[in-house]
Amino acid sequence: MEYKIVIADDEPITRMDIREILTYAGYNVVGEASDGFDAVELCRKERPDMVLLDIKMPLLDGLKAARIIHEENLADAILLITAYSGKEFVDQAKETGVVGYVVKPIREESLLPMVEIGISKGKEMARMSQEISKTRQRLEDRALIEKAKGLLMKQKNIGEEEAFKMIRKIGMDKRRPMRDIAKIILLNQ
């Protein structure tokens, strides 16, 4: 599988070096940016598997760009590339949702494993996030259906099973999810 990658660094030579390493390794570099603002816009457009961000860039630095990209879910994984290895930068990076931190100068033997693992972890996190969302939605749907069922039981003086069957039958007749039928029932109380 060919993964899509965006590179953001204010140094053109560094971007070129990273692009060459990644392209030679079979990755698809879909865009390059010289500042964090353009990196965010590229991620909005391309939805890459990974974005590589330098920390120190003009207009919008890599840490702020990483925060936006993470919060808006614009890339599966974010890897910071920087000349700064100080604890304060690492601590700030931990708060932005990045999967890795590579210190310059960039070497192929350190970059490629970090990219591969980062993409894998990003995909895993995306799957987990989707599962959490689905589970949350099912719980919300179930609570809504339970409320509607309780209302029907009270209004029509029927049992729980009969109320459930009524909601299910209306849903089947109208070809709508039970959640939608439950909302209508609750609106009509």
Taking only the tens place, the pLDDT of each residue in 47-104 is 999 999 999 999 899 999 999 999 999 999 999 998 888 888 888 888 888 999 999 9
Give the mean model confidence (pLDDT) for residues 30-56: 96
Rounded percentage of the chain residues whose pLDDT exceeds 90: 81
- The SS3 call for residue 175 is coil
Type and span of the H or E element at 101: strand 100-103
Domain pair 4-106 / 133-187, same fold: no
Is the pLDDT assigned to residue 8 strictly greater than 90? yes
CATH, domain 4-106, list 3.40.50.2300, 3.30.360.10, 3.40.190.10, 3.30.70.2750: 3.40.50.2300
- The SS3 call for residue 76 is coil
Q: How confident is the model at residue 1 (pLDDT cuts 50, 70, 90)?
A: low
Per CATH, is 133-187 categorized as 1.10.287.110? no
* Residue 82, pLDDT score: 87
Domain boundaries, the chain: 4-106, 133-187
Is the pLDDT assigned to residue 40 strictly greater than 90? yes
Contact at 8 Å (CB) between 96 and 122? Answer: no
Give the mean model confidence (pLDDT) for residues 97-118: 91
Vertex 9: Cα angle to 8 and 12 (nearest 5): 115
Comparing CA positions, the residue from 88, 128, 108 lying closest to residue 20 is: 108
**185 phi/psi in degrees, rounded to 5:** -60, -45
